[in-house]
């Protein structure tokens, strides 16, 4: 019996934590193309996190591991899951404990399975969520091609997202495979075109949630073989709603437990007037 088959025999569980009606609580998690067994353990860990009313999962395998992850999320109380069809490539998954996710066209034309978007309502407040998994630099024969094309496609739609939903918080979360300018430690491998992608968020009306709360803190979400750290995983909110950010942090427990090679990332965003339950 395979791990995936075993997952299908499990009875769905109620969520381990009640979803908030006053805050958007998000967990960003890179799955590192997990096998079915590790995907199950990842879903179990995610379900225990109070901050994970919504989850954005990146680097999801297009094979059995990805299918197992989606199934396991359902078994662990994530009743609404968006998992785009992928043509043999990694993809991004959105999941919600309670509130129904309604698919939204992100407008990202390049590798759209890496950029699913959804609308959701918390306490009467609509929110738009965009998950991203930017390609790595790729093999020698296609060095940087997919990464450049995807970054350009995302940068092109960011101004539309902030303009189309002027009264609605928009949250963009993902593994961007780029670091911020003035990153510590510096990494000379990154080009100006990669830093320009990071800067495109601010230009389009988005705020780096982590830097908003921690302007001078050095933390990383991935570490190379040399031990040097990289802040690859990012969460942005529309700048108009940045004052509502109450928490944003990296969580290293899943990396330490070998569930993944990335730290998880959390966001808590206050919902103004949120008190009517999750719809």
Q: What angle do CA 127, 262, 53 make, to 5 degrees?
A: 30
Q: What's the pTM value of the predicted model, to 2 decimals?
A: 0.91
Buried (b) or exposed (e) across 56-78, using 16+ Cβ within 10 A? Answer: bbbbbbbeebbbbbbbbbbbbbb
Pinpoint the alpha helices (H) of 112-144. none
Cα dihedral 31, 221, 272, 43, rounded to 10, equals: 20
CA distance 212 to 256: 26
**CATH assignment of the domain containing 28:** 3.60.10.10
* Domain range for 245: 3-11+22-270
pLDDT value at residue 207: 98
- Is there a domain that residue 17 lies in? no
Tell me the pLDDT tens digit for each residue of 177-221.
998 898 777 777 777 889 999 999 999 999 999 999 999 898 988
Nearest to 252 by CA among 216, 224, 221: 221
- Is there a domain that residue 131 lies in? yes
pLDDT value at residue 7: 42
Residue 28: DSSP 8-state:
E
- Is there a domain that residue 94 lies in? yes
pLDDT value at residue 1: 32
CA distances from 139 to 142, 143, 179 (A): 6, 5, 20
- Is there a domain that residue 201 lies in? yes
CA distance 171 to 75: 26
Nearest to 80 by CA among 54, 51, 100, 102: 100
| Contacts made by residues 259-262, CB under 8 angstroms, sequence distance 24+ | 259/38, 259/41, 259/42, 259/45, 260/29, 260/30, 260/31, 260/32, 260/34, 260/42, 261/30, 261/32, 261/222, 261/223, 262/29, 262/30, 262/32, 262/175, 262/221, 262/222, 262/232, 262/233
pLDDT value at residue 274: 45
Token pair recorded at residue 120:
């959701």
- Is there a domain that residue 48 lies in? yes
- Is there a domain that residue 275 lies in? no
pLDDT value at residue 230: 83
- Is there a domain that residue 49 lies in? yes
CA distance 63 to 58: 14
- Count how many domains the chain has: 1
Classify 24 as helix, strand or coil. Answer: strand
Q: Is the peptide bond before 135 cis (omega within 30 degrees of 0)?
A: no
CA distance 231 to 240: 24
Tell me the pLDDT tens digit for each residue of 47-71.
999 999 999 999 999 999 999 999 9
Token pair recorded at residue 245:
């950010």
- Is there a domain that residue 81 lies in? yes
Give pLDDT < 50 ranges for the chain.
Answer: 1-9, 274-279
Residue 21 phi, psi (nearest 5): -105, 0
């Amino acid at each position: 019996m395979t791990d995936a088959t075993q997952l299908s025999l499990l009875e769905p569980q109620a969520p381990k934590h009640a979803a908030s009606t006053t805050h958007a609580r998000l967990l960003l998690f890179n799955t590192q193309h997990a096998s079915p067994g590790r995907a199950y353990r990842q879903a179990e860990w995610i379900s225990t996190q109070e901050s994970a009313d919504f989850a954005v999962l990146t680097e999801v395998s297009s094979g059995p591991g990805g299918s197992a992850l989606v199934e396991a999320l359902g078994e662990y109380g994530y009743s609404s899951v968006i998992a785009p069809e992928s043509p043999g490539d990694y993809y991004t998954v959105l999941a919600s404990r309670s509130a129904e996710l309604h698919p939204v066209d992100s407008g990202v034309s390049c590798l759209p399975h890496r950029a699913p978007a959804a609308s959701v309502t918390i306490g009467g407040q609509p929110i738009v969520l965009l998950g991203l998994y930017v390609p790595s630099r790729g093999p020698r024969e296609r060095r940087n091609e997919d990464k450049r094309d995807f970054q350009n496609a995302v940068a092109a739609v960011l101004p539309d997202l902030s303009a189309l939903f002027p009264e609605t918080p928009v949250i963009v979360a993902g593994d961007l495979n780029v670091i911020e300018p003035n990153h510590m430690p510096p990494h000379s491998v990154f080009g100006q075109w990669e830093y320009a992608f990071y800067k495109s968020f601010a230009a389009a009306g988005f705020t780096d949630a982590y830097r908003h709360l921690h302007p001078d803190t050095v933390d990383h979400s991935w570490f190379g073989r040399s031990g040097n750290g990289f802040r690859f995983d990012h969460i942005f909110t529309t700048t108009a709603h940045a004052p509502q950010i109450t928490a944003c942090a990296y969580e290293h427990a899943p990396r330490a437990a070998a569930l993944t090679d990335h730290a998880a990332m959390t966001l808590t965003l206050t919902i103004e007037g949120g008190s009517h339950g999750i719809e």
